[in-house]
Amino acid sequence: MSKRKRIIAGNWKMNKTPSEASKFIKSLKPLVKSSRNEVVCAVPFTAIQTAITAARGSRIKIAAQNMHFEEKGAYTGEISGEMLRDMGVKYVIIGHSERRQYFGETDETVNKKVHAAFGYGLKPIICVGESLAQRDAGLTAELVRYQVKAALVGITAQQVSKAVIAYEPIWAIGTGRTATSAQAEEVCGIIRDTVKELYGRQYASAVRIQYGGSVKADNAAELFGMEDIDGGLVGGASLKLQDFATIATC
């Protein structure tokens, strides 16, 4: 088994008000107190400050779901890495498939955001993954390798060892369909091999790779037991207190 510390991150997406976030995290704290895993909640921008306050004194870290790559400027509605760091954010999700699909995120902007995240001391959770059509066409390996390489252009080996890469098959997000543990392990292995090709075995062994795609309380342990899967990027189940606590402690 891997010695990498598992990281379980709940992506709340556009859910929970600040008061709801505070109540949830306060309730979650005692449930994950004995977890050996790193536990992260990626909350909406409006809930970050209250979530950080609620998480004090616990092992729970707070992440943002996105960020802009510029430090400041005329980017109405955007949030910079400096703003996130100042609030105490530790992680930021970059390149989630919903950002790519609905908001025009590209491999180029993902790379810019990864650079910006490291520049502000934030740890990026970099999302990659294929659609059902791409999987059916046999393009999974080629596409995922390309997305990983594109995201890491200009990133140093030391930086990549601190990054998290999340494999999120688009066809398994919010659909109730889940990749089998073997399918998930295969692609996470491809991701690690790609990092090895770029940076060498030492850094490929250090980078943590999550699976994200309808992770649930009843399938998490099997998924996380695979050699190259170091935790999960959890969507809907992260909004359910008992379910997320089960996932975070398995």
**Is 68 known to be catalytic?**
no
Helix extents (H) in 88-212: 97-103, 107-119, 132-136, 140-151, 157-162, 181-199, 201-206
DSSP at 234: E
Rounded Cα distance, 94 and 131, in Å: 18
Active-site position among 96, 98, 105, 115: 96
How far apart CA 107 and CA 8 sit, in angstroms, is: 24
Nearest Cα to 127, choosing from 168, 155, 99, 159? Answer: 168
d(CA 239, CA 132): 26
Task: Note if 168 is an active site residue.
Answer: yes
Distance, C-alpha 50 to centroid of its chain:
21
Q: Cβ(188)–Cβ(232) under 8 Å?
A: no
From the list 7, 209, 247, the residue with the least C-alpha distance to 127 is 209
CA distance 27 to 37: 18
Distance CA 70, CA 176 (A): 36
Task: Name the active-site residue from 98, 130, 168, 185.
Answer: 168
* Active site members: 96, 168
